Chain A
Amino acid sequence: MSRAGQRSPSPKETVVKALMLAVTLLGLAVAPALAAEPAEIALVIEKNRFAPEEVRVKAGAPFVLVITNKDSGPEEFESKDLRIEKVIPAGKTVRLRMPSLKAGTYSFIGEYHEKTAKGRIVAE
């Protein structure tokens, strides 16, 4: 396949392709945001801890996690279980759209303070 002497795609073509990909991704990501609003659940970060540390949600229904960081430094909400990494700057609120979860427990941490910032989402 890749024999020497064969021409590889020009830089221009690749840039165009990358841009097309970016635009597609943008469209795909924004589309669900326009759909109806599911239930909202509040989560607060204060003194490098989450409150509440246990969030109870209905299994099988999407929801929005509204995370407010009341600390003076940023925090990263991270859940390996849910594949989420989200930076929440100091004093800001982030709305995270969550997929519908199967019944079970999903742990999350604040990556910048993982010793203290721990919590879990219980879907039931």
Chain B
Amino acid sequence: MAATFVVTLREAFEAALLLGIVYTFLDRIGARAQWRYVTTGGALGLLASVAMGVGITSVSGPLLDLGPDLIATTVIFAAVVLLTWHSWWMRRHASALRGDVVRRLEEARTSRRWWIVGLIAFTGVFREGAETVLFLWGLLAQASVGSWAGITGGVLGVLVAAALGWAIFHGGRHINVRTFFSVTTVLLLLVAAGLLSTGLGKLQALGVLPAGEPLWNSTWLLDDRGGIGGFLTALLGYRARPSAFEAAGWALYLVVAGILVFGRRTRVRVARPVETAR
């Protein structure tokens, strides 16, 4: 039960984190009416996950060999672009805030970027969604008397992830607007950096980028599969055994996106790989 709990919690955590942030974001800029974009995006992501799960089980041959990887890689890179764009937008928005609520609302209305938050919700849910669906489905398919604990654990994992997303929402509503924007912008950039590094790893596995030895191995210190390591993987892009592409992509992204998003207005946050701890 504990094992299946950890698996689904890990898979659903990133989606919960992103959903929690975008709901709170809309709440903070006084655009609760636009929640439907996020809800629709999330629901479509769930539907797409189920469709992908069914798709994977019904196709075979090259379509099964390569199809899911191509879709997954495309979704990952799309999510990186969306998150970067959103962070930039959010930052511009925050810079316009001078306690002037009316102006803030006006700008939010005129910028009309609601569909981005919907897409973020979609990619967030869809990214690990198909895997989670298949995992739970597999548990059910192999259900025997002893496996009900496993199924319970799996379902609990998804529920706890959802509760974490809600907790972010609840906490985010009460902190200062500026702090909220700053913290979530940094958080979203870290998530995007982690996604980019995952995407680069996928390209290496697909043979598009040359494969290579891991730069270092810090599994002994913190396994990226375990509880805490799993969270850091989703949150910061932590890798216990990163390839050169993964580590360089992660650090380079943070520098470039950091300058793009925080440039001039605030000090540039210098990216330092968290993984270097040894």
Contact = CB atoms under 8 A, between A and B. Distances in A.
A84 B66 CA distance: 12
B202 to A, nearest CB: 7
B205 A87 contact: no
Interface of A: 1-4, 8, 11, 14, 17-18, 21-22, 25-26, 28-30, 32-33, 71-76, 80-87, 89-90, 92-97, 99, 102, 111-112, 114-115
A3 B208 CA distance: 37
Contact of B208 (A29, A84, A85): A29
Contacts, number: 132
Given A73-B141, A92-B60, A2 B135 contact: no
B3 A115 contact: yes
Contacts of B137: 73-74
Interface of B: 3, 7, 56-57, 60, 62, 64-66, 68-70, 73-74, 77-78, 81, 85, 88-89, 91-92, 95-96, 113, 115-116, 130-131, 134-135, 137-139, 141-142, 201-208, 210-211, 213-214, 224-225, 240-241, 243, 246, 259-261, 263-265
A86 to B, nearest CB: 7
A102 B69 contact: no
A21 to B, nearest CB: 6
Given A21-B74, A93-B60, A114-B3, A87 B259 contact: no
Nearest to B143: A73
A29 B70 contact: yes
Contacts of B66: 29-30, 33
B65 A95 contact: yes
B207 A1 contact: no
B65 A1 contact: no
Nearest to B6: A114
B69 A86 contact: yes
B260 A1 contact: yes
Contact of B65 (A14, A17, A21, A94): A94
B138 A92 contact: no
B263 A4 contact: no
A1 to B, nearest CB: 4
B3 A97 contact: no
Contacts of B92: 2, 4, 8
Contacts of B261: 2
A111 B11 CA distance: 12
10 contacts: A22-B77, A26-B70, A29-B69, A71-B142, A72-B142, A73-B139, A76-B134, A76-B135, A87-B56, A87-B130
A111 B116 CA distance: 32
A113 B210 CA distance: 30
B130 to A, nearest CB: 8
B246 to A, nearest CB: 8
A8 B89 contact: yes
B243 A83 contact: yes
Given A2-B88, A83-B202, 13 more contacts: A2-B264, A18-B81, A25-B73, A33-B66, A73-B138, A74-B137, A76-B131, A83-B201, A87-B56, A87-B68, A89-B134, A99-B207, A115-B3
Contacts of A94: 64-65
A90 B205 contact: no
